[in-house]
Structure formats: C-alpha cells, structure tokens
Amino acid sequence: MPTIILAVAAMLLTTTAQAATVHDCGSESEHRDLDSIENLIGNVRDFAKGAIRVAYVLNERSEASSSAHLLIFVLGERAQGGTECYAVSAEYKGPTPDFVSIDMSGLKATYDSNKGLLISVPVRSFDSDKQRSVPGRVKVRISRKDNNNSVTIEK
C-alpha cells in the first residue's frame, strides 16, 4: 500500500517540458514592450560574469489577463551594438500564448564549454484541454560561441 501511495504522489509531482518559443523582445507587435524595465519581476540573474542576464517579466494586459515571459539579455560584440534581448514565451495552447507564471527561484543552470549555458526554469502555462494551468519546465540553451549569440529551446 505505501508503494502505491508513493507512486501516485510521484506522478502528481512530475512536471513536463513546456513547449516554448524564442523571439526578439520587440519583434512581434504583442511583445514589443517586453524589455521595459517597468515589467521586471524580482531580481535579474547574472551568468558568464554579467554577459548573460536572465529576467522574468509580467505583462499585465488587463486586470483579468497577464502574461509571463523569460527575458534573456546577451552581451554582443561592441561592433554589433551592445546587448541583444531574447524573449522566451509559451507556445500557443489556449486563450493566451504566454506562461501564466515563472519561478525564478527554481532556476537551475549548467555550463558546457561546447554548447554554452543551459538554464531550466519551472513555469506554469494554460492547458486549454484541461482548462487550467499546468506545471512544467522550460530549458533554454544560450550560446556565445565565436561571438555568435544564439538562444534556443531544448526538449
């Protein structure tokens, strides 16, 4: 009996990888104001001696609707014009294409010299099939290899 209870508890506590997409902070009309300092929630996390910064923004569209995004600021070459801003948003699965919440305190990071920095962040997104928010993690790879910045989602 205790084994069954533990198995059920483990199933309830597991989180799945969340489908996400990466885009420029200001490229899409609905996301054009994401890099506004007014939207930042909590502290910004620094990596690579400040060359990579990760932030959580909450964009409140109305009292009943808000969306959370992960912002990644990557220092570029001085010739490229400074810092590049990438936004990580949930893929569309319901009335809002954005995360419901992001838990920056649960952020985990690992570094691989060939692949770059990998961050894993607990998120909640709305599941239209279940009609509720569901927990998961989004994994984001940030590479600055050969001064060629890239930010990609890992499964």
Give phi and psi for 58, each to the nearest 5: -120, 120
| Cβ-contact 83, 73 below 8 angstroms | yes
Tell me if 3 is assigned to some domain.
no
Tell me if 5 is assigned to some domain.
no
Tell me if 9 is assigned to some domain.
no
| Cβ-contact 93, 19 below 8 angstroms | yes
Q: Is the pTM above the cut of 0.85? A: no
Split into its structural domains, the chain has a count of: 1
Domain that holds residue 44: 16-154
pLDDT attached to residue 106: 95
pLDDT attached to residue 43: 75
CA distance linking residue 57 with residue 89, whole number of Å: 11
Tell me if 8 is assigned to some domain.
no
Tell me if 119 is assigned to some domain.
yes
pLDDT attached to residue 63: 45
Q: Which amino acid is at 116?
A: G
**pLDDT string in tens for the chain (155-residue length):** 444 433 333 333 344 555 777 767 765 545 555 555 556 777 789 999 989 999 988 776 544 456 788 889 898 765 456 788 888 888 765 555 578 889 999 999 999 999 999 999 999 887 777 778 889 999 999 999 887 889 999 98
Tell me if 145 is assigned to some domain.
yes
